[in-house]
Homo-oligomer: A and B are copies of this chain.
Amino acid sequence: MSNIYEIAEKVGLSPSTVARALSGKGYCSKESREKVLKAAQEMNYTPTHAAKTLKNKRTEKILFCIPDIYNPFYFGMIKGANDIFEKHGYYTLLCYTKHNIKEELRMIETLREKYGDGMILVSFNFCETNIKAVNESGMPIVLTNRYDSPHGNDNFDYVYVDTYKGIQLATRHLIEQGHDRIAFIGGNIKEQTSLERFKGWKDEMDRSGMKIDDRQVYVGDYTMDSGYACAELMMTRSNIPTGIVCANDLMAIGFIRYCNEHKIRIPDDISVVGMDNTDLAANISPGLTSIIMRQEEIGRNAATLLMERILDGRTYKKTIRLEPQLVVRESSRKK
C-alpha cells in the first residue's frame, strides 16, 4: 500500500506538502493540492490509522461492550448511542463480552491500549473487579448501570434506569389487579442487577403484606429457554401462582410458550408481566405487559456523557437516572 512518501516522490513535492494537501490543513497551493489528490487517487492511497493515532492520540472510535447479543434489550441502547456518536464523526464498535468478566477486562485493556477513545460498558455484574479496572484505566468509560463504590473514589459516569423501581411497578400492578400468589422469575442474585430486581419484587410484596416463600422465586438466565424451564418447574408444584413477574421480556416469552403448549391460558389462568418492553412484547400473542426501560435514552445519554469527557475534557463525575414506566397489554388482568 502506498504512503505519503511515495506520493511525494511521484508528484515531486515533499511529504509534508503532501500531508497538508491531503488533510486540507496548513498552506498548500491549489496546483499542488490537485496534483497530490490525483496521485493519491491513482495510487489508491489510504492513510494508515495506526500512524495517525500514534501522532494524534485520537482514534475517533468508541468501544461499546454488551454482555449478550441475543437480547433485544440492548438494540435500543446501541441505536441511541450510535446516533450521538455519529454526529461527532465517531464510530461505534460493538464488543460482545458474553456475560463474562474476563472478556470485559480484556476490552478495558484494549481501551487502555488506546484502541478506542472511550467506552460504554454494559454489564450484568458490576463488582469490585471490573470497577477497579474501570477506575484504573484512566480512560473515559460510562456504565449503563448504577454503581457506587464504598470508597467513594469512583471517577466514571453512569446512566441508569431504576430497575428496582421497575420491578416494583410490575409487582404492584399485579397486586392491584387482585393477585395474591405472585411469583418472581429472575436471574442469579449474585449478579448486581439480578439482586436489584429481586429486591424490587420482595420489597413490594413485603410492603403489601404478602406472604412470600422461597418457592415463589425462580432463577433463570434471561433467555427464553430459561423462562420455559421455570414454568416447567413451577407446574410440578402445588399452589400455582396467578401472577408472574419476570425480570425480562425474554423469560416472560419462554414462560408464555410453556403455557401455550400446556393449555394454560394467559391471562385467564395466569397473568404475566415482563420487563424491558422490547419490540417483541408488542408482537407476541397475547401482548406482553412490560416495563419501559428507556433503552434509547440510556444510549443517548451515555454517549453524550462520553463525548463530554472526550471532546470537552470534562473530568468530574456525572450520573443520570431515568424513570421506568409500566405498559399494560393483554398478558395481565384482574384476577
Q: For window 209-247 of chain A, which residues contact chain B by CB distance below 8 Å?
A: 224, 228
Residues of B within 8 A of A51 (CB): 50, 54
Query: A1–B138 contact, CB under 8 A?
Result: yes
Contacting residue for A113 out of B47, B72, B79, B280, CB 8 A: B47
Q: Which of A49, A94, A114 has the most CB of B within 10 A?
A: A49
User: B114 touching A50 by the CB < 8 A rule?
Assistant: yes
With a cutoff of 8 Å between Cβ atoms, the chain B residues found around residue A286 in the complex are: 260
Q: Which chain B positions have C-beta within 8 A of A260?
A: 285-286
A112 touches B46 (CB 8 A): yes
A224 B283 Cβ-Cβ under 8 A:
yes
Query: Do A48 and B44 contact each other (CB < 8 Å), given the known contacts A91-B110, A94-B95, A95-B94?
Result: no
> Quick check: is A268 within 8 A (CB to CB) of the other chain?
no
Which of chain B's residues have a CB closer than 8 A to the CB of A208?
Answer: none
Interface residues in A, total, Cβ within 8 A:
50
Most buried by B among A63, A109, A283, A284: A283
A49 / chain B contacts, CB cutoff of 8 Å: 50, 53, 110, 113-115
User: Is A5 among interface residues, defined by CB-CB distance under 8 A?
Assistant: no
A213 → chain B, closest Cβ, in Å? 29
Partner among B75, B114, B257 whose Cβ is within 8 Å of the Cβ of A283: B257
A78-B96 in contact (CB<8A) = yes
Chain A 43-66 interface mask (CB, 8 Å, partner B; 1/0): 010111111011000010101000
Residue A279 CB within 8 A of the other chain: yes
Asked whether A13 is an interface residue with its Cβ less than 8 Å from the other chain, the reply is no
Give how many copies assemble into the complex. Answer: 2
Bound state CA distance, A91 and B63, in angstroms?
A: 12
CB of A265 to closest CB in B, whole Å: 11
Q: Point out the residue from B47, B53, B91, B283 that lies within 8 Å of A50, measured CB to CB.
A: B53
Any B CB within 8 A of the CB of A118 = no
Please give, as numbers and ranges, the residues of chain B lying within 8 Å of A306 by CB-CB distance: none
Q: Which residues of B contact A96 (CB under 8 A)?
A: 78, 82, 92, 94
Which one of A95, A106, A114, A254 has the highest number of Cβ atoms from chain B below 10 Å of its Cβ?
A114
Task: Scan residues 265-308 of chain A and give those whose CB is less than 8 A from a CB of chain B.
Answer: 279-280, 282-286
Question: Contacts A49-B115, A51-B54, A113-B46: A280 and B279 contacting too (C-beta < 8 A)?
Answer: no
Instruction: Determine whether A253 belongs to the interface, using a CB cutoff of 8 Å to chain B.
Output: yes
Query: Measured between C-beta atoms, what is the minimum distance from A74 to chain B in Å?
Result: 8
**Contacts A46-B109, A114-B49 given: A75-B82 contact, CB under 8 Å?**
no
Contact A48 B114 (CB under 8 A): yes
Closest Cβ of chain B to A322, distance in Å, is: 21
Cβ of A189 within 8 Å of any chain B Cβ, yes or no, is no
On whether the beta carbons of A54 and B50 are closer than 8 Å, the reply is: yes
A78 to B98, CA, bound (A): 11
Instruction: Report B-chain residues with C-beta under 8 Å of the C-beta of A285.
Output: 256-257, 260-261, 284-285
Q: Could you give 11 example pairs across A and B, Cβ below 8 Å?
A: A46-B109, A47-B113, A48-B54, A48-B113, A78-B96, A91-B95, A91-B106, A91-B110, A92-B95, A256-B285, A280-B280
A47-B113, A49-B113 known; 7 new pairs, CB 8 Å cut-off, are: A44-B138, A49-B50, A50-B53, A51-B54, A70-B72, A284-B285, A285-B285
